[in-house]
Amino acid sequence: MAKKSKIVADERRRAIVARYAERRAELKDLIRRPDADATQRMSAQAELARMPRDASAVRLRNRDAVDGRPRGHLRKFGLSRVRMREMAHRGELPGIKKASW
Protein backbone atom coordinates (compact mmCIF):
# COMPACT_ATOMS: atom_id res chain seq x y z
CA MET A 1 0.00 0.00 0.00
CA ALA A 2 1.38 3.36 -1.04
CA LYS A 3 1.46 6.25 1.40
CA LYS A 4 -1.76 8.24 1.41
CA SER A 5 0.21 11.42 0.77
CA LYS A 6 1.61 10.00 -2.49
CA ILE A 7 -1.83 8.95 -3.69
CA VAL A 8 -3.30 12.36 -2.84
CA ALA A 9 -0.39 14.17 -4.51
CA ASP A 10 -0.91 12.17 -7.70
CA GLU A 11 -4.64 12.95 -7.68
CA ARG A 12 -3.85 16.65 -7.21
CA ARG A 13 -1.41 16.52 -10.13
CA ARG A 14 -4.06 14.86 -12.33
CA ALA A 15 -6.46 17.72 -11.59
CA ILE A 16 -3.80 20.33 -12.43
CA VAL A 17 -2.89 18.54 -15.68
CA ALA A 18 -6.56 18.47 -16.71
CA ARG A 19 -6.99 22.16 -15.87
CA TYR A 20 -4.04 23.30 -18.02
CA ALA A 21 -4.14 20.64 -20.78
CA GLU A 22 -5.98 22.66 -23.41
CA ARG A 23 -3.88 25.82 -23.01
CA ARG A 24 -0.64 23.81 -22.97
CA ALA A 25 -1.64 22.09 -26.22
CA GLU A 26 -2.37 25.46 -27.86
CA LEU A 27 0.98 26.88 -26.79
CA LYS A 28 2.93 23.82 -27.88
CA ASP A 29 1.16 23.90 -31.25
CA LEU A 30 2.08 27.57 -31.64
CA ILE A 31 5.72 26.84 -30.78
CA ARG A 32 5.91 23.99 -33.32
CA ARG A 33 4.11 25.86 -36.10
CA PRO A 34 6.63 26.84 -38.82
CA ASP A 35 4.66 29.91 -39.98
CA ALA A 36 4.63 31.56 -36.52
CA ASP A 37 7.01 34.49 -36.14
CA ALA A 38 9.79 34.57 -33.54
CA THR A 39 8.05 36.95 -31.13
CA GLN A 40 4.95 34.75 -30.98
CA ARG A 41 7.12 31.70 -30.36
CA MET A 42 9.10 33.39 -27.61
CA SER A 43 5.98 34.67 -25.86
CA ALA A 44 4.41 31.19 -26.08
CA GLN A 45 7.56 29.62 -24.62
CA ALA A 46 7.59 32.17 -21.81
CA GLU A 47 3.93 31.52 -20.98
CA LEU A 48 4.57 27.77 -21.03
CA ALA A 49 7.51 28.25 -18.67
CA ARG A 50 5.34 30.29 -16.26
CA MET A 51 2.83 27.45 -15.91
CA PRO A 52 3.15 25.17 -12.89
CA ARG A 53 5.46 22.20 -13.26
CA ASP A 54 2.68 19.86 -12.24
CA ALA A 55 0.69 20.97 -15.31
CA SER A 56 2.90 18.71 -17.43
CA ALA A 57 1.47 15.23 -18.05
CA VAL A 58 4.89 13.56 -17.76
CA ARG A 59 4.81 14.18 -14.00
CA LEU A 60 1.89 11.78 -13.54
CA ARG A 61 2.45 8.28 -12.24
CA ASN A 62 0.27 5.29 -13.10
CA ARG A 63 -0.92 3.77 -9.84
CA ASP A 64 -2.94 0.75 -8.77
CA ALA A 65 -6.61 1.74 -8.46
CA VAL A 66 -7.05 -0.27 -5.25
CA ASP A 67 -4.01 0.49 -3.12
CA GLY A 68 -1.93 2.98 -5.12
CA ARG A 69 1.08 0.74 -5.80
CA PRO A 70 3.27 2.67 -8.27
CA ARG A 71 5.15 -0.18 -9.92
CA GLY A 72 4.07 -3.10 -12.07
CA HIS A 73 1.00 -1.22 -13.34
CA LEU A 74 -1.10 -2.97 -16.00
CA ARG A 75 -2.98 -0.36 -18.02
CA LYS A 76 -5.61 -2.77 -19.28
CA PHE A 77 -6.84 -3.41 -15.74
CA GLY A 78 -5.72 -0.27 -13.90
CA LEU A 79 -4.15 -2.57 -11.31
CA SER A 80 -0.67 -3.63 -10.31
CA ARG A 81 0.52 -7.07 -11.41
CA VAL A 82 0.29 -8.34 -7.83
CA ARG A 83 -3.28 -7.10 -7.27
CA MET A 84 -4.38 -8.35 -10.71
CA ARG A 85 -3.05 -11.83 -9.95
CA GLU A 86 -4.77 -11.94 -6.55
CA MET A 87 -8.10 -10.77 -7.94
CA ALA A 88 -7.89 -13.18 -10.90
CA HIS A 89 -7.27 -16.12 -8.55
CA ARG A 90 -10.31 -15.15 -6.50
CA GLY A 91 -12.43 -14.83 -9.66
CA GLU A 92 -13.05 -11.11 -9.22
CA LEU A 93 -12.00 -10.21 -12.77
CA PRO A 94 -14.60 -11.33 -15.32
CA GLY A 95 -13.25 -13.19 -18.33
CA ILE A 96 -9.84 -13.86 -16.79
CA LYS A 97 -8.75 -17.43 -16.21
CA LYS A 98 -5.47 -19.13 -15.50
CA ALA A 99 -3.62 -20.18 -18.64
CA SER A 100 -3.12 -23.86 -19.34
CA TRP A 101 -1.59 -25.39 -22.46
> For residue 37, what is the domain's CATH number?
1.10.287.1480
In a domain, 50, yes or no: yes
Query: Is the domain of 49 the same as that of 9?
Result: yes
Residue 46 is predicted with a pLDDT of 97
Residue 73 is predicted with a pLDDT of 96
How many alpha carbons fall within 13 Å on the CB side of residue 50? 8
Query: Is the domain of 25 the same as that of 49?
Result: yes
DSSP letter string, the chain: ---HHHHHHHHHHHHHHHHHHHHHHHHHHHHH-TTS-HHHHHHHHHHHHHS-GGGSGGG-----TTT---SSEETTTTEEHHHHHHHHHTT-STT------
Residue 85 is predicted with a pLDDT of 94
Residue 79 is predicted with a pLDDT of 96
Residue 11: domain span: 1-61
Query: Is the domain of 39 the same as that of 26?
Result: yes
Query: Is the domain of 36 the same as that of 85?
Result: no
The model's pTM is 0.82
In a domain, 101, yes or no: no
Q: How high does pLDDT run on average in the chain?
A: 94
Residue 1 is predicted with a pLDDT of 82
Residue 91 is predicted with a pLDDT of 93
* pLDDT tens for the 101 residues of the chain, in order: 889 999 999 999 999 999 999 999 999 999 999 999 999 999 999 999 999 999 999 999 999 999 999 999 999 999 999 999 999 999 999 999 888 88
The alpha carbon dihedral of 62, 67, 73, 76 has a sign of negative
Query: Is the domain of 20 the same as that of 48?
Result: yes
